[in-house]
Chains A and B, each alone.
Chain A
């Protein structure tokens, strides 16, 4: 400490410090403000995203229905024995619904108007009616009052009435009819349970996310079952057994490289190996799960290694010291203590895999699949792919469905990330 300042009297030094103090405080405040601004910027972006999605998507969870009195006349239906599945399948439900519409709106005359009238009811209503009749054969030749599914154009129009009416796809006559239904309280919107119980559909009002959710779950199951044991075993070998030499360094570098490889490369690999070489079918969760395993494996290995490394050597030495074998030491002590870290890594890896579409494009999981998959060898698609497909559809009503599906996907991601945080908080030990 021989700077020239030291030679000055103490009072003078204090004055100098005082003088610079304000500046230092100011820069301190600025430094803090930079950090705060970054956080606020992030939050703002998130808020915009949420407002955009929630604003457009909440109505996607609702569906529009119309009240009609249906005459289940066996001559019109051409169903004479409602317990015969073949007759039920071939029934003319459209005819029943059309008759009911003609009854309700007798002012529809001429081909064109009638066509406009019939197009107000979704084709899904006929399938609902069929299921209803199959479930309760006694309904045949009776008259029932039901709420039936409206077409997507009516749905979009009715929902838009509260703000800016979207009437471009509605004729004047159709608008009159809807007004009439509103006046008589024969049209309503209710919670769209179908959205959660059915698979994809080409009609927005019938489309559901269940097929995609099941596809995602099946794919994730395959991924977890394959990647977690393999990842943990690899991490334990690399940390506990592998000698430290050039070879293991090389392996380590390459694991890190793999973690940074764009996911589409894994899709190409999956296409070449599993589909072209092993001749496995396209579009199945089994192949999708294996491809995503390749992608998540590096993430799991890296986090598992970190977790194993974090277990203090004293615990290992104590276990070995009282006569445990190396395997006992690992299985009884290191693994339980490292498990929370490993699980966190696995969940984060899974969450990443859940949002992945690019590798699945290569193996045919980007497809229209109506049936809900039930096994890992059924054709399936996954949630992000479903979102992509809906966003690309021309029908206006798919816009809100897209946002609704994004919300469901976000829920899943938030749930998984919350689990990861919770596990870490609950189980993590500090030394």
Chain B
């Protein structure tokens, strides 16, 4: 159900919903019926709070900053909607004006298509702020033995099609039933992985970083990227659908709970949930590294992704408090190595990165792709 909602939300947040002539006619009719309730747009000409939309991964971090900012200043606390990264950009890029969000959170960098969409709608100047990193962990119940996986193991265990084990350059449907089949050093437990559905940003990042990372270790598949990019993508990003990968919904807490009941299964979720549930689950080492603050921050744990937010420059100075909000977010007490965001599970940037991003935020440097 949640997934359905998300899909619908993403599909209909755009205004293309009302652009079809027939629907517009019907709507005008309906509008006439409810005109009595309508409030003239002028009544809402001013907005006294900052409007933030976007990624549900960045949501908890954005929330803390918004709260501290709201309590410490005379500005109202920003309103934050967890719409998901894609849905957030759709809203954000709709235009300039009080009806549109000021800030978009994202668990990946803005895509070129999204940037173009923004430009087409008059959202010319956008300030990009890289705030830190988020690790994606593979974990199992503490009742089970800890796992050590390589990216290749992850790919072979979870991909829909895998290279034939006889060494020929052909693809077969994933035949592996247990982790031992994948790699003889792994335990002989059934492959059962609980993870987020395709609508989730966590899933996108996992597929891109872990699965593709393992996939391109096969030389002939990597070569395919140049010759047939779409086939390469379908192969490396295709998750098996025979029941070994279980779509367990967007709620990471639920995955943690299911793991503690099922010692065989592995789960995929964000690092902050691992941090909060260390009594129930333990993380698998990936590529020889356990996910910790340090290993994610210095990049040695590879399944990690950058977190961003984007600010509409045209709104700065119009909607009260945007500059101050930016200053609070990029202050050392927030995103610094010992800032309050790290307590919520954000992996901080290195000092050099922080200095660089901080400077570009101060000058409100516009993004150009």
| Chain A residues with a Cβ under 8 A of chain B | 89, 115, 119, 123, 127, 166, 168-169, 201-203, 226, 264, 268-269, 271-274, 276-283, 286, 290, 358, 361-362, 364, 366-371, 377, 379, 389, 391-396, 399
Contacts and interface: CB of A to CB of B under 8 A. Distances in A.
A202 B9 CA distance: 25
Interface string B154-192: 000000000000000000000000000000000000000
B56 A392 contact: yes
7 contacts: A89-B72, A123-B68, A127-B71, A273-B31, A392-B56, A392-B253, A394-B275
A277 B27 contact: yes
Nearest to A168: B278
Interface string B56-78: 10011011101110111110110
8 A-B pairs closest in CB distance: A168-B278, A370-B77, A202-B63, A368-B80, A367-B81, A279-B41, A202-B64, A394-B272
Contacts, number: 133
A394 B273 contact: yes
Given A168-B278, A286-B39, A367 B82 contact: yes
A409 to B, nearest CB: 18
Interface string B248-259: 001111000000
Nearest to A379: B79
Nearest to B47: A281
A169 B276 CA distance: 7
Contacts of A371: 70, 76-77
B79 A283 contact: yes
B74 A89 contact: yes
B338 interface: yes
Size bracket of the B interface: 35 or more
A108 B79 CA distance: 39
Contacts of B368: none
Interface of B: 4-5, 8-9, 12-13, 15, 17-18, 23, 27, 30-31, 34, 37-39, 41, 43-44, 47, 49, 51, 56, 59-60, 62-64, 66-68, 70-74, 76-77, 79-82, 98-99, 250-253, 270, 272-273, 275-279, 338, 340, 343-345
A379 B101 CA distance: 13
B340 A123 contact: yes
Contacts of B251: 391-392
A364 B17 contact: no
Given A362-B9, A370-B77, A166 B38 contact: no
Given A169-B276, A202-B60, A394-B344, 13 more contacts: A264-B4, A264-B8, A268-B12, A273-B30, A278-B41, A280-B38, A280-B39, A280-B41, A281-B98, A362-B9, A366-B82, A391-B253, A393-B253
Contacts of B9: 361-362
A282 B81 contact: yes
Contacts of B67: 201-203, 370
A268 B16 CA distance: 12
Contacts of B60: 202, 393-394
A379 B23 CA distance: 29
Given A115-B338, A123-B68, A202-B67, A364 B279 contact: no
